[in-house]
Amino acid sequence: MSGAGGPAAARVAATIRPDIQALAAYPVGDAQDGIKLDAMENPYSLPADVRDDIAAAARDAALNRYPAARHDALDAAIRGAFGVPADAALLYGNGSDELIHLIVQACCAPGDVVLAPVPSFVIFEMAARFHHAHFVGVPLTAGFELDLPATLAAIHAHRPKVVFLAVPNNPTGGRWPDEAIEAVRAATPGLLVIDEAYQPFSDGTWMPRAAQLPNTVVLRTVSKIGLAGLRFGYLAGPTPWIAEIDKLRPPYNVDVLTEAVMLAVLKHKPVLDEQAARLRASRAELAAALAKLPGLTVFPSSANFLLVRFSGKMGANAVHRALKTRKIWVRGFPGGDPALADCLRISLGTPDEHAALLAALRDILA
Ligand code: PMP
């Protein structure tokens, strides 16, 4: 590797797309040890019997073979575990991130529009940029609600090929009302992607309608329910959409080990459900405790995290730094959407982790 400014730098400057050179890479958190509340992971590990089944499945996986063309057993397990309708087609991704990229690639010629509320999941915008599409972000209201009139007006003005709605939304946590989603769907001339990454922590889902709506697909991930390390997401929708998007999928994008582990874990789906329910049950108590601290506003959340605004003497960045020195890792938004400048996003953890967080915040804010 040549160093910065070495012989490679001039070639890079002349060769790599200027818009890519101008990008910052997706910020993956640098938490190591301590209390990790920065990435919406499930803090609970899997019980021993589930691990034993995973070990057996991994031992027996045919690592010398490419993944099979069909995934009949996995399809049946996913449909059963997550309520995917029999008439919806399925597409798997190396995380739902990959599926977001495939959707944009499949739909957008250079300059076509991808539209989403902002702030929302940053990969929607990054995928648009990577694939030469034009991203239109429609600001949420001051209280981080969907601005339906502005969203509909932007859809009419920009005729997007793809509209992404994260329901519940990351990083704000709220769930858009079904009537608002339906109004967006009815207005969308291209494809509406309802990204239900945080659905396991909320009420309601669009999954039962995944095959019925001619312009809508439903995106899910297993990352938030305890399998973030596995990298597996799925897209459910009408067969004609899924068949086209599938053409962009790198062959073998879901590897043999991931498939084997998914099959083993889904036999224990109630364990995942119970962990998600435990996290969800802890949300209101943590939100109430945080809201009692001076200068903190906690936004309503239907997800496994809370967005918190700091308007007291100490701003979000200072609190973020102080938490870091105590090895408590949360997500800040420096340099991101200005609407989030004074906010931190805190993933739900165990009761002990919540107690430690609250003690640290009381100390920091005192
Ligand atoms: N969608 C949303 C709304 C997310 O917040 C995330 C993860 N932060 C993802 C998709 C991607 O999840 P993964 O790639 O782990 O499946």
DSSP assignment of 163-213, as one string?
A: EEEESS-TTT-----HHHHHHHHHH-SSEEEEE-TTGGGSS--SGGGTTT-
Q: What is the CATH classification number for the domain harbouring 179?
A: 3.40.640.10
Q: Are both 104 and 78 inside the same structural domain? A: yes
> What confidence tens digit (pLDDT) does each residue in 269-319 have?
999 999 999 999 999 999 999 999 999 999 999 999 999 999 988 999 999
Q: Which of 236, 268, 300 is the last residue of a domain?
A: 268
Rounded distance from Cα 26 to ligand 1 centre (Å): 12
Q: Which atom of ligand 1 is nearest to the CA of 39?
A: 8
Structure tokens at 73: 């057993």
Q: Which of 268, 293, 310 is the last residue of a domain?
A: 268
Q: Are both 259 and 186 inside the same structural domain? A: yes
Rounded distance from Cα 166 to ligand 1 centre (Å): 9
Q: Could you tell me where the beta strands, DSSP code E, fall in the chain?
A: 35-36, 89-93, 113-118, 134-139, 162-166, 191-195, 216-221, 233-237, 296-298, 305-310, 328-329, 331-332, 343-347
**What's the start-to-end Cα distance of the chain, in Å?**
48
Question: Looking at residue 3, what is its pLDDT?
Answer: 60
What range defines the domain where residue 341 resides? 30-46+271-365
**What pTM did the predictor assign?**
0.96
Question: Looking at residue 335, what is its pLDDT?
Answer: 86
Rounded distance from Cα 53 to ligand 1 centre (Å): 26
Is 163 part of a structural domain of the chain? yes
Report d(CA 308, CA 281) in Å as an integer.
18
Q: Which atom of ligand 1 is nearest to the CA of 169?
A: 3
Is 5 part of a structural domain of the chain? no
Q: Which atom of ligand 1 is nearest to the CA of 93?
A: 16
Q: Are both 141 and 68 inside the same structural domain? A: yes
Regions of the chain with pLDDT less than 50: none
Is 15 part of a structural domain of the chain? no
Question: Looking at residue 137, what is its pLDDT?
Answer: 98
Q: Which atom of ligand 1 is nearest to the CA of 96?
A: 16
Residue to substitute in 40, 122, 125, 195 for testing ligand 1 pocket (most ligand atoms within 8 angstroms of CB): 195
Element (H, E) at 322: helix 316-325
Q: Are both 187 and 332 inside the same structural domain? A: no
Strand-pair partners of 296? 310
Nearest residue by C-alpha to atom 1 in ligand 1: 197
Q: How many domains does the chain have?
A: 2
Q: Are both 258 and 306 inside the same structural domain? A: no
| Residues within a 6 A CB radius of ligand 1 | 95-97, 121, 166, 170, 195, 197, 221, 223, 228, 233
